[in-house]
């Protein structure tokens, strides 16, 4: 009896997991420009990500991304400057990492195929969530 219960739970969890995952390859999109947004309210990393996607002939042909800290400041050359040299260096590694995500998305087309870059893993999650938000608005 326990064996059947365990098998049933595994099957149920598999179905729930499959239903929650978006399959980019099965989606189609309207042409146009779409904005996506994600608020990261995690205690250690409060920040936001905004993307603008341009879709043409059903493909992502352009993407821009903007990341902001918990005060609303754009994460750029000054990001982390007030936190001391060591934290500033880490922050700038993150900036260089996440600045590659938009171009990578245009290259690979699927948000789930945009791999995290060391030092910018939290931003990768934020970026993907913002992209999915924009794609939801663009889908047919």
In the structure encoding, which two tokens stand for residue 41, read together?
A: 């309210």
Would you state the pLDDT for residue 45?
77
Would you state the pLDDT for residue 3?
53
In the structure encoding, which two tokens stand for residue 111, read together?
A: 């948000």
Phi, psi of 3 (to 5 degrees): -60, -45
CA 32 remoteness from chain centre: 20
Would you state the pLDDT for residue 2?
52
User: At residue 5, does pLDDT exceed 70?
Assistant: no
The DSSP H or E segment spanning 91 is helix 85-98
User: At residue 1, does pLDDT exceed 70?
Assistant: no
Gap between the Cα atoms of 138 and 53, Å rounded: 9
What is this structure's pTM? 0.82
* pLDDT band, very low/low/confident/very high, at 26 (cuts 50, 70, 90): confident
Stretch 35-54: mean pLDDT: 93
In the structure encoding, which two tokens stand for residue 36, read together?
A: 């996506």
For residue 92, the tally of other CB atoms under 10 A from its CB is 18
């Amino acid at each position: 009896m326990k064996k059947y219960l365990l098998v049933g739970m595994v099957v149920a969890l598999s179905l729930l997991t499959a239903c929650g995952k978006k399959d980019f390859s099965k989606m189609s999109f309207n042409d146009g420009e779409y904005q996506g947004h994600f608020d990261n309210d995690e205690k250690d990393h409060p920040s936001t990500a905004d993307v603008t996607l341009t879709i043409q002939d059903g493909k992502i042909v352009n993407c821009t991304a903007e990341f902001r800290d918990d005060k609303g400041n754009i994460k750029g050359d000054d990001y982390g400057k007030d936190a001391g040299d060591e934290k500033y260096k880490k922050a700038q590694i993150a900036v260089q990492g996440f600045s590659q995500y938009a171009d990578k998305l245009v290259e690979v087309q699927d948000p789930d195929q945009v791999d995290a870059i060391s030092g910018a893993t939290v931003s990768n999650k934020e970026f993907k969530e913002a992209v999915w938000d924009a794609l939801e608005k663009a889908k047919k």
